Amino acid sequence: MPIQTISTTPFADQKPGTSGLRKRTSVFMTPNYVENFVQSIFDSLEGFKGKTLVIGGDGRYHNDVAIQAIIRIASANGFGKAMVGQGGLLSTPGASHVIRHYKAFGGLILSASHNPGGPGGDFGIKYNVGNGGPAPEKITDAVFARTKTIDRYLLRDAPDVDLGTIGMHRSGEMVVEVIDPVADYAALMQTLFDFPAIANLFANGFTMRFDAMHAITGPYAHRILEDMLGAPKGTVVNGIPSPDFGGGHPDPNLVYCKPLHDLMMGPDAPDFGAASDGDGDRNLIIGRKRFVTPSDSLALLAANAPLAPGYANGLAGIARSMPTSAAADRVAETLGIEMHETPTGWKFFGNLLDAGRVTICGEESAGTGSSHVREKDGLWAVLLWLNILAARQQGVDEIVRDHWAIYGRNYYTRHDYDEVDAGIANKLMDDLRAQLPQIANTAYDSLKVAYADDFTYHDPIDGSVSGKQGIRIGFADGSRIVIRLSGTGTVGATLRLYLERYEPAHGQHDLDTQQALSFLISLADRIAGIRERTGRDAPSVIT
Ligand code: G1P
Ligand code: ZN
């Protein structure tokens, strides 16, 4: 089957963001759009001839079409083998594991994560390297440069591969192995967690609801929670992946998981509630009458991880993204282990994990994970919680309160302003940046500013420097205001405002979060003029 050289012209907008290239599905459906980007990735890589490429996605609309195109391009470019999840499906952490487990050269993950899918939704492509993690900026910068000059792509003239049938297929000379998307991942989970103890929990009447949000974790959760751990059928809801996520928004937050939240706060709440996002890397954890913020969840998981067999020897260190609350820092301090603050985006954890400097990582955006893969991992967080619940024989609320009593509570919220005019958002950030030296020397009522800067990360492993990662205004009492622009939005700009206040051990831990942070919320607006400049009188989403 011959290789065709197809001429093309560059698209100006193929700059990978926080997590690969994300655009409206309609943009990805433009002729040559997928082909240009994928060929640009391959043109930026070296040494993959004859090697293995892992391919899979969250099953959203256009997944199937894009995968067939990618297989033809990979074959024409000389990959020896493609490993593809059956039906084109692989969760993001599942893909990361497959890359690592089979020592693949890298992988392409097709998803726009928690963004809606369908013809009017979003689509995305992300390249992960051989350690299973997102490509570092060195590669994504090279890919972007290539997209601006590309004039041809290579295509194998071969028929579609039958992705419905597990086993060996071919596209030209390239072998295409269709694999069970769940099996390897489930086996990995069994090495980390005490499955008999969790199964025992369910056998003794422990109840749970897992909302797969019509997205990729459905098959994983059915298999692991219901088939392997014995949770009653019906524990997993919305468990069949659909191309438009059942018309929903597969973002496991309190807005889009309102039915789960309402259930957990109501009289018929099960013991434990959880959800995951479009591609399976995020998690939402809710106990009976207790929502656990992702920042608290990170701290709690780190403090209790040694209860799970895979972490019985303790943690090397913890890492969190800069806007994530400092709750985990207090755990690291108590344990006497390393703590790292990195820019937003999972790719910044890769070097620390590879070097064995940290074991658990997390982001405020519902992302938690560990050294078992190089992506955040929604079901992993759920299973670690279950392992902790089984070992401690306590409820979620009790465990959370105990944690605050020991470490103190970091009240924390994020306010998002979506689809703001990009010019206005950039000007807001520029003006704020210009004010930072002045802000650094100010006190607002009784709050004295301790530092005001635009976060720059110095990677301790490879020495790389990433600047302009978000504006931080820190106060003497440990409170913080952080403002940054999203790198994953697909329309206009998304302004994210993060607010945090520390209440020490045995302090007041029962305040309403928005009330506890009300002074900081109005102060942030006073300093940055968000409402006046954007013309919005409230955030689009509060988490
Ligand atoms: C968002 C989250 C970030 C996460 C990323 C990918 O990025 O804030 O923590 O890593 O999605 O899931 P942002 O849109 O803020 O750039
Ligand atoms: Zn995701």
pLDDT digits (tens, 9 = 90+) for 245-258: 999 999 999 889 99
* Three-class DSSP labels, 389-414: HHHHCCCHHHHHHHHHHHHCEEEEEE
What's the pLDDT at 249?
94
- Give start-end residues of each CATH 3.40.120.10 domain in the chain: 3-181, 185-407
- For tokens 């290539």, name the residue: 146
Which 3 state secondary structure label does DSSP give 365? coil
CB 471 within 8 A of CB 426: no
Pocket test for ligand 1, best of 58, 363, 429, 466 (most atoms within 8 A of CB): 363
The per-residue pLDDT for range 179-220, each reduced to its tens digit, is 999 999 999 999 999 999 999 999 999 999 999 999 999 999
Contacts of 480 (CB under 8 A, 6+ apart): 326, 472, 473, 474, 498, 499, 500
Instruction: Tell me the average pLDDT across 449-464.
Output: 95
Residues 384-424: tens digit of each pLDDT? 999 999 999 999 999 999 999 999 999 999 999 999 999 99
Sign, Cα dihedral of 347, 110, 48, 4: negative
Catalytic one among 40, 44, 75, 113?
113
* Ligand 1 contact via 346 beta carbon (within 6 Å): yes
Q: Which residue has the tokens 């072998």?
A: 175
CA of 484 relative to ligand 2 center, distance in Å? 19
Banded model confidence at residue 136, pLDDT cuts 50, 70, 90: confident
Q: Is 321 in the pocket of ligand 1 (CB under 6 A)?
A: yes
CA angle 404, 410, 413 (to 5 degrees): 130
Q: Give residue 288's pLDDT.
A: 97
User: What's the sign of the alpha-carbon dihedral 12, 18, 20, 24?
Assistant: negative
110 contacts 59 by C-beta, under 8 angstroms = no
pTM (2 d.p.):
0.94
Residue carrying structure tokens 């990009």: 422
Determine the atom of ligand 1 nearest the C-alpha atom of 114: 12
Of all ligands present, the nearest one to the C-alpha of 278 is 2
Whether residue 155 contacts residue 35, with contact meaning beta carbons closer than 8 Å, is answered with yes
**SS3 at position 256:** coil
Confidence at 282, pLDDT banded by 50, 70, 90: very high
pLDDT tens track for 314-369: 999 999 999 999 999 999 999 999 999 999 998 899 999 999 999 999 999 999 99
* Structure token digits, residue 455: 């976060």
Tell me the CA–centroid distance for residue 487 and ligand 1, in Å.
7
The token pair at 257 is: 């998981």
- Which CATH number does the domain 3-181 belong to among 3.40.120.10, 2.60.40.10, 3.40.190.10, 3.20.20.70? 3.40.120.10
Distance 365 CA to ligand 1 centre (A): 7
Q: What is the CATH code for 409-542?
A: 3.30.310.50
Strands 208-211 and 106-110: unpaired
The CATH fold assigned to 185-407 is: Alpha-D-Glucose-1,6-Bisphosphate; Chain A, domain 3 (3.40.120)
C-beta atoms surrounding 262 within 10 Å: 11
Ligand nearest to the CA of 112: 2
**By C-alpha distance, which of 340, 351, 394, 349 is closest to 367?**
349
Taking phi over 0 as left and psi of -120 to 50 as alpha, with beta for the rest, 459 belongs to beta
Ligand nearest to the CA of residue 16, numbered in listed order: 1
Ligand 1 atom at minimum distance from 19 CA:
6
Percent of the chain with pLDDT over 90: 94
Residue 125 φ/ψ, nearest 5 degrees: -135, 130
- Which residue spans of the chain are classified as CATH 3.30.310.50? 409-542
* CB count in 10 Å sphere of residue 518: 14
Phi/psi for 341 (5° steps) reads -110, 120
Rounded to the nearest 5 percent, the helix, strand and coil shares of the chain are 35, 25, 40
- Which atom of ligand 1 is the closest one to the Cα of 346? 10
User: Which residues are placed with Cβ below 5 angstroms of ligand 2, an ion?
Assistant: 113, 277, 279, 281-282
Q: Tell me the CA distances in angstroms from 328 to 72, 297, 299, 365, 470, one per residue in order.
A: 45, 9, 4, 15, 20
Q: How far apart are CA 25 and CA 62, in angstroms?
A: 7
Tell me the CB-side half-sphere exposure of residue 123, using CA atoms within 13 A.
24
pLDDT band for 296, please (50, 70, 90 cuts).
very high
Asked whether 251 lines ligand 1 (CB < 6 A), one says no
What phi, psi does 320 have (nearest 5°)? -140, 155
Query: Hey, is 530 helix, strand or coil?
Result: helix
- Has 113 been annotated as catalytic? yes
Dist. CA 354–CA 459, nearest whole Å? 13
What tokens does 68 get?
């067939």
- State the pLDDT confidence band at 491, using cuts at 50, 70 and 90: confident
> To the nearest whole number, what is the mean pLDDT of the chain?
96
The pLDDT confidence band at residue 235, using thresholds 50, 70 and 90, is very high
Tokens read off for 284: 């939402």
Contacts 24+ apart (CB under 8 A), 74-78: 74/38, 74/42, 74/171, 74/174, 75/156, 75/158, 75/171, 75/172, 75/173, 75/174, 76/3, 76/4, 76/154, 76/155, 76/156, 76/172, 77/39, 77/42, 77/48, 77/154, 78/48, 78/49, 78/50
